[in-house]
Amino acid sequence: MTTMSAPTTPDVDPVVAQAQAYAEKLLMLSEASVDRHFDPFEDIDWDAPDFDPNCKPERWVLVTSADPIGRHPWYQALPLDRKIEIGKVRQANVAKVGLQFEAILIIGMMQHIFNLKNNDPEFRYCSHEMIEEHNHTLMFQEMVNRVADVPGMNPLVRQLRHLAAPAGALFPNFFFMAVLAGEEPIDHIQKDILRSGDDIHPIMRGVMAIHVAEEARHISFAHEFLKKNVPAQPTFNKAVLSIAMPIIMFVLGRAIATPPKSFFKQFDMPADVRKELFYGSKESKRTFADYYVDVRALAEEIGLMNPVARKVWQLLGIDGPSSRYRSEPKRSAKHAA
Ligand SMILES: [Fe+2]
Ligand SMILES: [Fe+2]
């Protein structure tokens, strides 16, 4: 009797196999960009009567689901018209910060792809991403123009744009960590608001729904990029990256999530309220640390959560559990019931 031997698989160079798997993932993301993308002027009916920022303006009142200002007793005790005024400025400013961050991302990403070799799958994917980010900047600016005249980032933080080009060209692992430092908090805040079902102004809902849908791809790519490139780094580089990762998340995350000084001044927010709202209380620290639940999981996966790095995450107050899978809804009871 003849026995059938198991088919032998030809030896595949693991480096080649990894490159192929990476190219396939990027092709999938690129095709998803072609299949599902949005246009800020075709997909948002800016002239719809319900989109008038002054139509049912109480919908600008800050929600309790995702905005620490909205949850604070100081804000909740204000008269309705003041709450609306603050709500408009706060939400327009978040959009302005978002578009400034996206502009910085485009500057660095363009540098990153400039010297890629022909047939590198990153060229196509990154180009799709930059086109989407450009559309987001158009969409956010359109919203800001209609809602409130706001500055966005603090003047000092705005200077970060000068670092984007050298980082994108010379230090892509740092650059894509910085990308995650901005994209993760914005994505978490927007998803929390959308999942909560709170009654928000349709301009905000429309803009956020489009943004969240496209941002999932961008975050996936930054994760894939770091998964491919970081483990292959020499030990010394990995040690530096492991310590840089929480620092980048902390510095950029705070820069993006904290309103500019002019905001607090404009609304006479007492200093103690301001401090408590932004990182002074246990709850606000926890909220900030929660933004990086997926980044901590990534750090574990790519070998950047060594004992020293873990200590840095802890010292910066952004340690905590890692997600079991990306975009896992929070396991706290906060949004349950
Ligand atoms: Fe975006
Ligand atoms: Fe993005």
- What domains can you pick out in the chain, each with its CATH number? 38-316 (1.10.620.20)
Distance, CA 203 to ligand 1 centroid (Å)? Answer: 16
Give the global pTM: 0.89
Cβ proximity of 72 and 277 under 8 Å: yes
Q: Are 26 and 232 in contact (CB under 8 A)?
A: no
Q: Is the pLDDT of residue 11 over 90?
A: no
CA of 176 to the centre of ligand 1 (A): 14
Q: Ligand 1 centroid vs 40 CA: distance in angstroms?
A: 12
pLDDT at 217 over 50: yes
Q: What is the distance in A from the centroid of ligand 2 to the CA of 93?
A: 17
Mean pLDDT over all residues of the chain? 89
**Residue 109: pLDDT above 70?**
yes
Q: What does the pLDDT look like over 149-171, one tens digit per residue?
A: 999 998 888 898 999 999 999 99
Find the 190 Cα to ligand 2 centroid distance in Å: 13
Gap from CA of 254 to ligand 1 centroid (Å) = 18
Closest listed ligand to the CA of 211: 1
pLDDT at 1 over 80: no
Rounded Cα–Cα distance for residues 287 and 27 (Å): 34
Distances in whole angstroms, Cα of residue 227 to Cα of each of 149, 236, 295: 40, 17, 11
Q: How far, in Å, is the centroid of ligand 2 from the Cα of 208? A: 12
The rounded Å distance from CA 184 to ligand 1 centre is 11
Mean pLDDT for 8-14 is 71
CA 208 to ligand 1 center in whole angstroms: 10
Contacts of 153 (CB under 8 A, 6+ apart): 96, 97, 100, 101, 255, 256, 260
